[in-house]
Amino acid sequence: MATTDTRARTLPTDTTGLPADDATERRAGGTLPRIDAVTIGLVIVVLLLGGVALEAFRGTGAVMAHIDHLRDQDVALLDTLHDLRSRDLETERLVGQYLTRGDADRAALLTEIVGLLGASRDDRQRLGDLAHPADRVAIDAASAAGSRVAEVHSSALRLAGEGSPGEAAALFFADGTAATEAYRAGLEELLVAQGAEVQSQFDGVRQETDTARVLVSSVLLVVILLLVLVGRMNRRQRRQAQQRSAERDAFSADQAMRGRMHSAFEMSLTENAALETARDAVRQELPGWRAELLMADSSAAHLHRVATTHPDATEPSCAVATPMDCPAIRRGAALCFDDADAYDTCPQLRGRDLTGGTAVCSPVKVMGKSVGILHSIAPTPPASNHLQRLEAIVQTSGDRVGVLRAFATTRTQAERDPLTGLLNRRSLEDAVGGLAAQDVPYSVAFCDLDHFKRINDTHGHAAGDRALRQFGRVLDSTFRPGDLVGRWGGEEFVIVLAETSPEEAADAVERVRSSLAMALLVGDTPSFTVSAGIAGPTDDFETAVARADAALLEAKRRGRDRVLRHDALVDAEPAG
């Protein structure tokens, strides 16, 4: 499998440290109201439904208007024509019977005929009232023809009543037939025209109804499609909201984890404690992972294992010996390897069992420089949040080690003499204050390089600096770790030996003189000697230093290159 650079992925964040969406809302001064697609879709649906209802209302109104028109005028006109034709036929039949029957039956027939003629006259009047302007001429003509037929019938009835049945019959069958045919032709024409008009009106109603149906169906189809679209968008928004919620939860968990981690590392006051905290963080934040931490030594030439999550494991550790032998350190980026036998896998992993797991090599950077490697093996291919946790551990531990090293450097610069590396005068006095607080007795040795000005004048100040450094190294290597060794100033040095008698302190300084003589046999440092004064325990440090200085001055007066105790000088003074 291919080797890939792996970096923990984090949520897009603004300068507030929040996810981008939340940061935008926070800058606006609170949670911003959002008009989402679902709301917009619902508004559109409501508007479309309102439009459908309006159009349906309009369409219904138009249909009802046509129906009212048909009922009030066109259908009524057609019905009147049918009624008129039926009455006229019945009148013609009764008139014919009247003319051919005897006198006994004529009275009843005449009454009925007169009623029919009056009804026909009313129907013709009604036709005039219901007629369209376009049909006015035809209806007037039909009404005139009807009036003519009524006149013929009336004349025939009058002649028959006057005793002239022959003339009545002739008038009825001659003029009446011609007038009736013309009248019937006009009525038939009106019936056909009015039937066509009614059919046209019904066709118009049907067309408007179909148009309304098509419009409503189209809008309803659009509404259905829009509802489907809104539903999909709603589901998408819910998924996005769930994803954002999961991202926020992951972000919160990551921030909480980083907060715990920073708190833990802040409580680590030494570099070893910080590295152990990194080990414990791997154990708790990445359970099941096996990890070891390798750090470079002071020379930055070798790597050593300083912490491991499984100290009793039989699995071999990473065998990388130097920082430059580690590909992750050289690249300055984390590397993941899934197959220990792949040709592009780190050579240090060859032969390791990575079945089902993944090796992750994360460089530990201190002040921008890779000085270590956290080699971990995940039991399964790691998820992105696991890699984020691992990166947080590596980054935070490197930052803490860098802070501790910087603090140690600063403290050393503040406490140590820059030339010799020994305690400076202030640090020496502070350390002695600690001994006094614990009532620890001590002796003081005050040393001074003999003829130091002559060394500077003869060999130069660089030679003088070499002499001071050489003497500082001899002091540091001769005395015990608990003894306080410091440069008092110039070529003067003070040593505080805890729980040491003046005699023992003098012996220790004598060893210094011997070691110095041996050290000066090699190198280019000019030869020099040292004089020293010793003072035993006193009530305060200043008194002890003054007495040791007095003994030093006496040693100088007696010829230098010697050690004198202040108590011996006091004992040697003559009485009185």
Specify whether the backbone of 450 is left (phi greater than 0), alpha (psi in -120 to 50) or beta. beta
Task: Please list, in sequence order, all residues whose beta carbon lies within 8 angstroms of the beta carbon of residue 131, skipping any fewer than 6 positions away.
Answer: 77, 139
491, 503, 554, 573: which is the annotated catalytic residue?
Answer: 491
Where are any strands of DSSP class E within 457-548? 484-489, 492-498, 530-535
**Backbone φ and ψ of 35, nearest 5°:** -95, 100
Q: In DSSP terms, which residues pair with 363 in a beta bridge?
A: 373
Measured CA to CA, the distance from residue 304 to residue 73 in angstroms comes to: 112
Measured CA to CA, the distance from residue 485 to residue 502 in angstroms comes to: 16
**Backbone φ and ψ of 300, nearest 5°:** 60, 20
Q: Which amino acid is at 302?
A: H
**Any idea which residue has 């045919």 for tokens?**
181
Q: Which among 498, 492, 495, 487 has a CA at the least distance from the CA of 426? A: 487
Measured CA to CA, the distance from residue 258 to residue 256 in angstroms comes to: 5
How many Å is the Cα radius of gyration of the chain? 62
**Any idea which residue has 């490697």 for tokens?**
373
Three-class secondary structure of residue 386 per DSSP: helix
Q: Which among 116, 127, 110, 188 has a CA at the least distance from the CA of 150? A: 116
Measured CA to CA, the distance from residue 128 to residue 136 in angstroms comes to: 7
| Interior/surface letters 369-400, b for 16+ CB within 10 angstroms, e for the rest | ebbbbbbbbbeeebeeebbbbbbbbbbbbbbb
Measured CA to CA, the distance from residue 183 to residue 175 in angstroms comes to: 12
Measured CA to CA, the distance from residue 374 to residue 306 in angstroms comes to: 10
The length of the chain is 576
Measured CA to CA, the distance from residue 13 to residue 248 in angstroms comes to: 11
Measured CA to CA, the distance from residue 451 to residue 460 in angstroms comes to: 13
491 is known as an active-site residue: yes
What positions carry a catalytic annotation? 491
